[in-house]
Structure formats: structure tokens, C-alpha cells
Amino acid sequence: NAGVTQTPKFQVLKTGQSMTLQCAQDMNHEYMSWYRQDPGMGLRLIHYSVGAGITDQGEVPNGYNVSRSTTEDFPLRLLSAAPSQTSVYFCASSGWESSYEQYFGPGTRLTVT
Amino acid sequence: AQSVTQPDIHITVSEGASLELRCNYSYGATPYLFWYVQSPGQGLQLLLKYFSGDTLVQGIKGFEAEFKRSQSSFNLRKPSVHWSDAAEYFCAVGVDSGSQGNLIFGKGTKLSVKP
């Protein structure tokens, strides 16, 4: 049982490039979320999903796109990377018993130059 | 609006000393409260949670937290700190986001441990 996995661990992009951050969970959790973590800011919610085919925006959704075609996977797409998107990105999942009790992946450190 | 405040950005304690990390929240209803720990370069690990019932909750690694409704606080405590407790600690409150519960995090408290 791997829990929540994220790839890649590190990524460097140039401004304007696009990429997809991968997130997968093997706990059969319905709920999945993406957060970004910036120094002194804590974690802020980008997008979340309550199940396959259903997504919604969080606090800081601009510049990011998500889709959820399966229960296991919840990729985050950067459409046109900007230096302001330099951050550490965390994916989290939770089950129907308590969507608040979230399990986090190890994170992806993204640098946009 | 819901919010979580961790007043201390950085705390240093000596190994073996007691620890208290402060957390205050703003939320209209009965809150669901959490403490997470993040070691350098790692993801977040759940230390403990409060949903209802006994206001003193026990967590992993010898941590406990006390919910005080009158003070809107959920402070984290440990009686004797170990060097391995050096990490960043985040308090969070669960909020309803449509059909899903999500978390609002404080900005974190970095704990350093002196030998």
C-alpha cells in the first residue's frame, strides 16, 4: 500500500512551458486535493475533486487545470508556467468516512525560471 | 471567513524540555481541528485530530492537544521534546467546500531543538 504518490519529485520549467504533475492514490479514496506550499504561507488549496468526473476550484486556482478520469489519479496541469508558480505542490486524498482527514503525498518541488 | 493563526513562526527548545505550540482558529460552527508535522523535504503527517468529545486528544509521537472553545484554541503540547521532533508544525481547521471537507492551514511553526 503506497498511499499517495507524486511524480516528479523535482522539476525546473522555463516561463511559458506547460507540464503535468502526477498524483495517484491506492486507498480507494473518493476525495483528492491539490495544495501549494510557499514559505511563510502554509498550504493553500488549488483544486479538489469529490470523485471521478467531478472537480472544483479552491483558493488559488488560476493558472492550473485538473481533471479526474479515475478514482486513483488526479493530475495537475500548468498551462503556461510563470515564476509565481514556483512552489512545492502537495496532493492529498481522503475517504468518505471523513473527507477532512487527508493523507498527503511527498510533494513536487517546482521551479519556474 | 475561516482562518487559522499560528502566532509563533519559529520556536527553539532544549532537548528534554516541554513544548507548547499555539493555534487559534476562526470558524462559525464546531470545528474539526488537526495538527500536522512536516520534516524537512517531506510531506505532511497527521499528528492528531479533534472532531468532538473529549477536549484533550492524544496523538502519535507523544503529542497531545487541547481544544478550548472559549479561547478558540487548539494548542499542541509535548512534555519532553526529542531532537527528532525538529520539524515544521501546521495547525488546520476542516471547512465545508460544497460536498467535500477541505482544510485551511495556518502558516506553520518551525521547531528547532537544542542539544
**Given this model, what pLDDT does residue B105 score?**
92
Question: Using CB atoms, which residue from B32, B46, B105 is nearest to A42?
Answer: B105
Cβ–Cβ gap B94/A90 under 8 Å: no
Comparing B2 with B35, the larger pLDDT belongs to B35
Which pLDDT belongs to residue B42? Answer: 84
Can you tell me the mean pLDDT for B4-32?
Answer: 93
pLDDT the model gives residue A1? 72
- C-alpha span between B69 and A81 (Å, rounded): 43
Cα–Cα distance, A85 to B56 (Å, whole number) = 39
Instruction: Report pLDDT digits (tens) over B67-105.
Output: 999 999 999 999 999 999 999 999 999 877 665 678 899
Cell of B3: 482562518
Q: Do B101 and A100 make contact, defined as CB atoms within 8 angstroms?
A: yes
Residue A85 cell numbers, joined: 508558480
Q: Report which residue type is found at A45.
A: L
Cα(B52)–Cα(B45) distance, rounded to whole angstroms?
21
Q: Residue B40's pLDDT is what?
A: 86
Q: Which residue has the cell 532544549?
A: B14
Q: Best interface-test mutation with B: which of A25, A102, A108 has the largest number of B CBs within 10 A? A: A102
Q: Which residues of A touch B101 (CB under 8 A)?
A: 31, 94, 98-100
CB A98 within 8 Å of CB B101: yes
3-class state of residue A51 by DSSP: strand
- What sign results for the dihedral spanned by CA atoms B77, B74, B37, B63? positive
Which pLDDT value is given to residue A68?
Answer: 96
DSSP annotation of A73 reads B
Per residue of chain A (113 residues), give pLDDT as tens: 779 999 999 999 999 999 999 999 999 999 999 999 998 888 999 999 999 999 999 989 999 999 999 999 999 999 999 999 999 999 999 987 777 889 999 999 999 99
Residue at A65: amino acid letter: N
Element (H, E) at A81: none
Tell me which residue in B42, B90, B94 faces A42 most closely, judged by beta carbons.
B90
